[in-house]
Amino acid sequence: MRALMPAFDCIQEYEQARSERLWDGMSLWATNRDPGAVYVLGYAAEIAVKCAYFRFSGFTIVQPIGHAELNTAQARAHVLHVTAPREGFHSIRFWGDLLIEHRRAAARPLPAATEASLKVAVDAVYDRWWIEMRYKRAYSSRTDLEQLAAAVDWIDNHYVALYT
């Protein structure tokens, strides 16, 4: 199976993965696997915000996103005074703040209400999901799942607006 996977990441792969993680998360929710649903839905949110950043940055859907591109994103974050740690490039707060600051620097800021709602959604996910959860036992509650799912839903519904 590894041989079938593309050798590099790109927006096209990210977006397909985002869609699959959304359905996977909903399936887990429907079968009362709440902590699993939190973990998988968190990925969907993180991928969406990361992808919105690369789309806004002008990447084509098949343009490789590898070490050099991620390292440049980290450098740009520093230049634009984004202080959120990247957390292995899996921090939704890092990508959300970078998207906001990149748009500002490009003189195309998000509308104030959208930016505020994005920050609320990103914080809701950030507080309940991080990549290292895979090594932890389940701490998520039904309330965590419902609040995270609401944030994921907002990000999903506003995905295109984040990069256009």
Q: Please give the residue ranges that form the binding site for other proteins (CB under 8 A).
A: 57-60, 63, 68-69, 71-72, 74-76, 78-79, 102, 105-106
**Token digits for 159?**
């995905």
Q: d(Cα 67, Cα 44) in Å, to the nearest integer?
A: 21
- In the bound state with other proteins, the residue whose beta carbon lies nearer, of 52 and 149, is 52
Per-residue CA distances from 150 to 2, 9, 92, 141, 144 (Å): 34, 28, 15, 14, 10
Residue 113: CB minimum distance to other proteins, A: 24
Q: CA angle at residue 86 from 93 to 1, to 5 degrees? A: 100
Residue 59: CB minimum distance to other proteins, A: 7
- In the bound state with other proteins, the residue whose beta carbon lies nearer, of 14 and 39, is 14
**Token digits for 148?**
């995270």
- In the bound state with other proteins, the residue whose beta carbon lies nearer, of 57 and 91, is 57
Residue 99: CB minimum distance to other proteins, A: 12
Residue 100: CB minimum distance to other proteins, A: 14
Q: d(Cα 56, Cα 133) in Å, to the nearest integer?
A: 29
The DSSP-derived string for 28-67 is: HHHTT-HHHHHHHHHHHHHHHHHHHHHHHTT--TTS-B-H
- In the bound state with other proteins, the residue whose beta carbon lies nearer, of 34 and 97, is 97
